[in-house]
Structure 1
């Protein structure tokens, strides 16, 4: 029984590491005014458009994907908490 528990623990740790390694860092910008996008032009399905750095963009591989964004630092303009709007 202890061996089965150890196997499940090992599999759980392995899955956690794989999911954590699937993250990518880059910078992005959200536009408040509508601009044509490189993916859809003026026909954006949701009307929401953001720009992405080359690390995220990958020659249009980012088109149509959803991303969970986490702010890790302030902006170049000195805004200390850009995600909170402060």
Structure 2
């Protein structure tokens, strides 16, 4: 009787240990991420007026890294001023993404109402020409697949 009880306790400890080991290994191979996946298009001048700031050009970042928000992140205008880290993960033309390139963009407009139309419809983000060109070489593609994360 004592032997079977010891065997049950050992088996229970072994199961717990194996579960812990499995979860540890899983966490190594499946990193936790809070980034979203979507598409990005480009748009070009004219950028004014914007849905967020009207005719105020002073809100545009000096480095020209800005974007218009697609409907999925527009959030009834709450997206205005938010900052996103954006990386190109693939494009319809092979090897178009600039390897290791990640940029930070500021939302200044709504894609659906922007004066300049997007190069592709339904994008999560519509990037300024400068922002798009930093992620893609050659810049002839009209849409890319991106990973993006809000940072502020």
Q: TM class by shorter-chain length?
A: 0.5 to 0.7
Following superposition, the deviation at residue 30 of structure 1 comes to 4.2
The CA distance in 1 between the partners of 2:76 and 2:38, in whole Å, is 14
> What is the root-mean-square deviation in Å for CA atoms of aligned residues?
3.1
Residues 6-85 of structure 1 correspond to what in structure 2 (within 5 A)? 17=32, 20-21=33-34, 23-35=35-47, 36-44=49-57, 45-46=59-60, 48=64, 49-74=66-91, 81=96, 83-85=135-137
Q: Which protein has the bigger strand share?
A: 2
Distance 1:64 1:80, change over 3 A: same
In structure 2, the gaps of 5 or more residues are 1-26, 98-134, 139-152
The CA distance in 2 between the partners of 1:69 and 1:59, in whole Å, is 22
Larger Rg: 2
Q: Deviations over 1:18-39 (max 9, x none)?
A: xx22x23333444331322111
Distance 1:29 1:60, change over 3 A: farther
In structure 1, the gaps of 5 or more residues are 1-12
- In the superposition, the TM-score normalised over structure 2's length comes to 0.34
- In the superposition, the TM-score normalised over structure 1's length comes to 0.53
Q: Paired residues, what number?
A: 68
Q: Which has the higher contact order (CA 8 A, sep 6+)?
A: 2
